[in-house]
Amino acid sequence: MSRNILSQKTYWFIAFLLIILFILPGAIPRFYTYILAIIFVTSLLVMSLNIVVGHGGLFQFHHGAFYGVGAYTFALFLTKTSLPVWIAFLSGPVFAAIAGMIIGMFCVRLTRLYFGMLQISLGSLLWAITFRWYSLTGGDDGIHGIVMPPLISSLNNAYYFILILTILSIIVMYLIFKSPFGTTLQAIRDNPERCEAIGINVRRHQLVAIIIATFFAGIAGVLFVVLEGSVFPDLLFWVFSLEIFIMCLLGGWFTFAGPIIGAAVMVSLRTFVGIYTEYWTLILGVILILLIFFLPEGLWGYLMEKLGEHPKQSLKEGN
């Protein structure tokens, strides 16, 4: 009974939060509207990473590369072709998923740390190509001044567009986690050897998880271009991928909503701490050290443990 009541309270809280998010642009300065939109985009990106890290047990250390692939594909379709914008929009996540599939086919043959090391190498190759191919990607200058359709050209319209697509993507990811595939993926995370022994194709499930995760990373990349009107090689650099990974750990990598909290905290810190100091990477390192020693389950995972629920178990039960 208490679990049902808690679930109802959770739904009411989510509905109240969404109402607040929809009315905020009319009540706050443009700068804070922009920061909220960045948090939405980053939350979607971190949640896509959590598909393979928290729920798949894979060390996807260079997830930002697929974010960049989605962003660059969308930007190039808009600036280099005359195709409809909806085709350009779909091309971003599709090309990111294709890149994820190709890299994943090599990486899933390895396990744990070796998986992560190979992915960093292949992801860095994507960054190097983007950084040096001036005739196509603009090289280290990137692509700027990308004109958006009138419907999403203003900040407020872009905010609502990003918010709606982020919500829809999160709903789809939640349905995936609740599906038999999601349950099998968590079982592989906990004990891949036993899953292999009972006939589950571990590599195939891991590869599908990578494709799904990179698809949503591509959506996040497209939304970044919608908001910024530009794209640059730093999106594919390994340092940015490290930030995403830390956001996932900070919020709680065995939880569903934890990455949203991690992204909100990190984006806020990066924005407002950056006003006072240039040494953001030093602060990032300190946060990582504190996480390892004091909050191994992340902020949301720590809260769930205090409430008497283990993050892994609660996710399986759908709380």
Residue 1: pLDDT band with limits 50, 70, 90: very low
In a domain, 88, yes or no: yes
Residue pair 138/79 in contact (Cβ under 8 Å)? The answer is no
Please check the confidence at residue 139 and state whether its pLDDT lies above 50.
Answer: yes
In a domain, 5, yes or no: no
Residue 254: pLDDT band with limits 50, 70, 90: confident
pLDDT digits (tens, 9 = 90+) for 67-92: 999 999 999 999 998 888 999 999 99
In degrees and rounded to multiples of 5, residue 317 shows phi and psi of -85, -10
Residue pair 229/145 in contact (Cβ under 8 Å)? The answer is yes
Residue with tokens 């739904």: 11
In a domain, 291, yes or no: no
Residues 6+ apart with CB under 8 A from 270: 243, 280
- Give me the sign of the Cα torsion angle 70, 71, 76, 79: positive
In a domain, 283, yes or no: no
Q: Structural domain tally of the chain?
A: 1
pLDDT digits (tens, 9 = 90+) for 155-165: 999 999 999 99
The pLDDT assigned to 317 comes to 46
Residue 130 and residue 193: Cα distance in Å, rounded?
38
In a domain, 244, yes or no: no
In a domain, 282, yes or no: no
Nearest CA among 123, 88, 85 for reference residue 102: 123
Domain that holds residue 171: 35-236
Residue 314 and residue 297: Cα distance in Å, rounded?
13
